[in-house]
Amino acid sequence: MTQAVGKYDAILIVSPENNPEALSKLQAQFNELVTQQGGRVLESSSLGKRRLSYSLGKLREGNFLQVRLELPPEQVAPLKKALRLVRAIARCMIVRGQDHLEKPLQTQTTVK
């Protein structure tokens, strides 16, 4: 019997001190965590560095990563728990994807 999977969108806020090489390593680590939970990454995109509306600890800005993924619904909570253990990720939000949002991800310019 096949396991039902749902489509999800994830936004990761990463420390702005990370260089592009560190961000790509973090994306690879995220992809590995998703596959360990029985899911797969459909597409990912960097939204660049943005100023936060409120500070997260000492962070006033962060690099945003947007990821679309497929994952069994019962594996979302364990994935969130595993992401909390990654120091480079300041915040992570995973929401159920909507059918009307099936447009490709768009990379936006970096705001300084």
CATH number at residue 73: 3.30.70.60
DSSP E strand boundaries for 57-97: 59-71, 89-96
Q: Do the domain assignments include residue 75? A: yes
Q: 24 lies in which domain range?
A: 9-97
Whether 106 has a pLDDT exceeding 70, the answer reads: no
pTM of the predicted model as reported, rounded to 2 decimal places: 0.77
Interval 47-73: pLDDT, tens: 888 988 888 888 889 999 999 999 999
Q: Which residue has the higher pLDDT, 81 or 17?
A: 81
Cα–Cα distance for residue pair 56/54, rounded to 1 Å? 7
Q: Do the domain assignments include residue 45? A: yes
Q: Do the domain assignments include residue 111? A: no
Q: Do the domain assignments include residue 106? A: no
Output the pLDDT for position 93: 92
Cα–Cα distance for residue pair 81/51, rounded to 1 Å? 26
Element (H, E) at 79: helix 76-84
Please report where in the chains the tokens 């480079």 appear, as a residue: 88
The two tokens of residue 23 are 């961000």
Whether 104 has a pLDDT exceeding 80, the answer reads: no
Q: Do the domain assignments include residue 109? A: no
The torsion angle over the Cα atoms of residues 48, 30, 68 and 110, rounded to 10 degrees, is 0
Output the pLDDT for position 1: 42
Q: Do the domain assignments include residue 36? A: yes
Output the pLDDT for position 107: 54
Looking at the 3D structure of the chain, how many domains does it have? Answer: 1
Output the pLDDT for position 101: 53
Q: Do the domain assignments include residue 2? A: no
Interval 7-43: pLDDT, tens: 999 999 998 888 888 888 999 999 999 999 999 999 9
Q: Do the domain assignments include residue 70? A: yes
